Amino acid sequence: MKRILALSAAALFAVTAGLALSTSAGAAECPSGEFCVWQDSNFGGQRANWSGDDGWWESWISDTDSSWANHGISGPGIKDHVKVYESAWQGGDMTICLAPGQEVGYNGAANDRGDSHIWSTGC
């Protein structure tokens, strides 16, 4: 059911999500224009990346997120900030808001809590 809803969310929000395995312990390897989430701290382990919103992350990354990077590209009127939420459909608490170029290698309070995110013009 969750898979079906996640796919619906992808269609609704025009999500373009990707999956990659990163072994980087240094620079965050996140494609330009995308928001990336890793299962491990310091941008390690499996990575999910999106250029759009996702109201309900896939089960493998949902509540297993440990590091985050916003490689969005700014421009007039462009939604380039990312807000991460602890519940699906941008519900519950917002755990972090990142401007383009900002990264978080680990956050004890937000670790393994993310369920959804949305791009916005600001925090």
Partner 1 sequence: MLRSTPRARRALVTAAASLLISGCTVVGPDGAGQPGVPADRAAQDRLLKAAEHRLVVDCLADQGLTLTARARAPDEDRTLQAALFGAGPRELSVTLATGATVTAHEDGCLAAARARLYGDARRWFRAQVTVGNLRAEAQARMRDDPAHQEALARWTRCATPTDRPRPAGPDPTVAARCAQESGLDDVRARLEAVELLVVRTLHRDQLTAYRQLRDRALLRAAELPAPTPPQKGHDPS
Binding residues for partner 1, rule: CB under 8 A, are: 1-2, 27, 29-33, 56, 59, 62, 71, 73-78, 80-81, 87-89, 91, 93-110, 115, 121-123
Beta carbon of residue 77, minimum distance to partner 1 (angstroms, whole number): 6
Nearer to partner 1, 44 or 105 (CB): 105
* Owner of token pair 């791009």: 119
Beta carbon of residue 45, minimum distance to partner 1 (angstroms, whole number): 18
Reference 103, options 76, 64, 72; nearest CA is 72
Which residues 6+ apart lie within 8 Å of 4 measured at CB? none
Nearer to partner 1, 5 or 45 (CB): 5
Beta carbon of residue 105, minimum distance to partner 1 (angstroms, whole number): 7
Nearer to partner 1, 45 or 69 (CB): 69
* Residue 91: its H or E element: strand 91-98
Q: Residue type at 115?
A: D
Instruction: Decide: residue 15, CB within 10 A, 0-12 exposed, 13-18 middle, 19+ buried.
Output: middle
